[in-house]
Structure 1
Amino acid sequence: YPVILGGAALTRAYVEQDLHEIYEGEVRYARDAFEGLRLMDALMGVKRGVPGAELPPLKQRRVAKRDTPMQVAEPEVGGRSDTAVDNPVPTPPFWGTRVVKGIPLKDYASWLDANALFKGQWGLKDAETIATDGRPRLRGWLDRLHTDGLLEAAVVYGYFPCVSKGDDLIILDDNGSERTRFTFPRQRRGRRLCLADFFRPEESGETDVVGLQVVTVGSKIGEATAKLFES
């Protein structure tokens, strides 16, 4: 079966060279959903025997692959990093959670990274194409999203008491008991930073505060996107 892979953790050379060598079928890299669709069209064309249908050539590695694995030094031994633990603990505006629904598109549309959209997602490389095609297309989509009410932006956010212990951030309840904990990775060398280091350690006897949030744009946009892929 053909396999299409993508995502920030993978590179085209790794997928189309290293993985291609160990998998008997076709393995291709897709930078985004649009490239994935083009690959699917090509795969189906080849399968159906469509004249001229073919897959793009595999990515060739620019740097020769190492014959021997690179030696990695053992991580330095140590505990907490040198992050300061005496910064003032902020006072939150409230404790617990709050829900905000019905956030207007105009309130967050300006935060869109247009450069990443035009070049990274839509594949528009030069300024002229972006000006004549990208920006009008973006305005059209924003107008449609607003007119059709496809985005139902909402957020749940809040502030919680917490302490840190090693690599863990421990979220406390109102009585000071553990509610849950998050374990974060620590740098293997250098300052050996970990996100937990930026909160008061449990042994300090002080309680810190952490802000958390969960956002959504609702289900309508997913349904509309599914219809586009089906068409």
Structure 2
Amino acid sequence: MSSEEFEKLHEIYKSLYDEVKLMPERAQRCQGEERKRIVRDFDERVSEAEEMLQGLEQELFGAPSSFRTPMSTKIRLYRRDLAKLQREIRLSATPGFSSHIGDGSQGIYASQNDQSTHLQSQRALLIQGTESLNNASKSIERSQRIAAETDQIGTDIIEELGEQREQLDRTRDRLVHTGENLSRSRKILRAMSRRLVTNKLLLSVIIIMELAILAGVVYLKFFRSRQ
């Protein structure tokens, strides 16, 4: 709803109403063509006022309920006031209209006004019901859109979890292979360690044997030659 447009239409209506509410009394004081001219002007101004009220009702479609409800009631009252002025102008435009007949006509017009007010009330209720239905439809559309987005997010998460599972499986396989390689490496290191110890022992034995031989040679060379 455009508050500026609503205020503009409201001001135009009040200006028109201020103008037409004086016409029944003027018509009652006039005669002949002057009275007919006033009645024609009255009908034109009332038609314009009705258009303003229709515009106000259309502007109320997008208004908050806290503002729409009292303004709808006020528009119904505006229509009732216009209907009252229309009755008055018709009575004033009828020459020789007696007060007794006038009272009967007022009863008829009052009944018609009550029917018109009831129809306007039903129309306002229909407008509010239509708006509520539109709001409910929009809410359902938003819910469906959110559900679709949630479903898409869930699908993306499932796909991502599947990819992460594949990555974990590949990592586990690599760890298994790495463990097997480490096990083989440990076996090789243990075998090399045993060979190294064996070689050290053999080297020690060879050194001891060489020392023993050397000692024997020295003994034979020096001590045996002296004897």
TM-score of the alignment, normalized to the shorter chain, above 0.5: no
Q: How does the TM-score come out when normalised to structure 1? A: 0.17
Q: Which has the higher strand share?
A: 1
Q: Bigger radius of gyration, 1 or 2?
A: 2
What is the TM-score when the length of structure 2 is the normalising length?
Answer: 0.17
